[in-house]
Amino acid sequence: MSFKTLTIIVLSVLITVIFMQNTDEVLFTILWKEIYVSKLLMMLIVTIFGFIIGLIIARPKKKAPLATENTKDIPFEVNKPQDDYLNHNDKKGLSDEDRDYIN
């Protein structure tokens, strides 16, 4: 038997024992109403709600489309190096401090 199968069997037996030991009825107050409910039923309801909330919280988010997907009709333009504002060889308009920092 594999480890996974053995673990599933052991957990199933433990959960069954826990549920079978908690079959007595208990008083629950929900808002203004007091009701007698089996512990087994209440544990099952809480487990199902917890599982559903966990699925809702853990689900993957939808990814936003990439910018390239939305701009397929726009032609690609290549700037000339002299027109590029990031060109570090262009010294006009820079202060002496900026030139020292770049070099």
Q: Where are the domains of the chain?
A: 3-58
Residue with tokens 């809480």: 46
Ranges of the chain whose pLDDT falls below 50: none
Residue with tokens 């809702």: 56
The torsion angles phi and psi of 85, rounded to 5 degrees, stand at -75, -10
CA distance linking residue 96 with residue 16, whole number of Å? 80
- Cα angle, residue 26 at apex, residues 35 and 17 outer, rounded to 5°: 135
* The pLDDT of residue 71: 53
The pTM assigned to this predicted structure is 0.42
* The pLDDT of residue 74: 57
* The pLDDT of residue 53: 92
The torsion angles phi and psi of 56, rounded to 5 degrees, stand at -65, -45
3 state DSSP class of 66? coil
